[in-house]
Amino acid sequence: MKIISNSAKQTRKVGAELGWLAKAGDVILLEGGLGVGKTCLAQGIAHGLGIDGYVISPSFVLLREYQGRLPLYHIDFYRLDRIEEVAYLGLDDYLYGGGVCIVEWAEKGLGMLPGEHLLIKMQHIAPAKRKLAFYPEGPRYEEMLSQLKLTRSVARK
């Protein structure tokens, strides 16, 4: 499934919908270059999980933890140089824990991340336009996507 978002606000709305639907143990992987809107989508997910306050990019600390309806573990591999580093970080407690995991720059850690996940590839189309392509891996994420109710302003492509 692919959608087009025409503003940061729309991207946050899509995120909030995912946050609403999220269950304990869910893993959401985000791919796409700098400034494409990964953190923006993560902010929406946090909002949907009932997390108040501003969710910032954890780029400089690798992981930030928030408490909402479920715990949110917001991971960012931006500063990761080698995939082997993932193994040393001890992230499995988070990735296979009882919270919701969001991983920015997931392409840097693929192979070390859970095989069952929702992958969202984001692409820059125009200054305020982004394409979001959803790749569910596993029945849980097929279910999650089938429940996603997008507002009419977000075009399904």
Asked if residue 144 lies in contact with residue 21, where contact means CB atoms within 8 angstroms, the answer is yes
Q: What span, in angstroms and rounded, lies between the C-alpha atoms of 5 and 112?
A: 30
Q: If you search the block for the tokens 């790749």, which residue do you land on?
A: 135
Question: Could you say whether residue 54 binds ligand ADP (CB under 6 A)?
Answer: no
Q: What span, in angstroms and rounded, lies between the C-alpha atoms of 124 and 13?
A: 18
Question: Could you say whether residue 39 binds Mg ion (CB under 5 A)?
Answer: yes
Asked if residue 11 lies in contact with residue 36, where contact means CB atoms within 8 angstroms, the answer is no
Closer residue to Mg ion, CB minimum distance, 121 or 140: 121
- Residue 56 site contact among ligand ADP, Mg ion, none (CB < 5 to 8 Å, cut-off depends on kind): none
- Residue 123 site contact among ligand ADP, Mg ion, none (CB < 5 to 8 Å, cut-off depends on kind): none
Helices and strands in the chain, H and E counts? 5, 8
* Shortest Cβ 149–Mg ion spacing (Å): 26
Closer residue to ligand ADP, CB minimum distance, 38 or 108: 38
Closer residue to ligand ADP, CB minimum distance, 124 or 140: 124
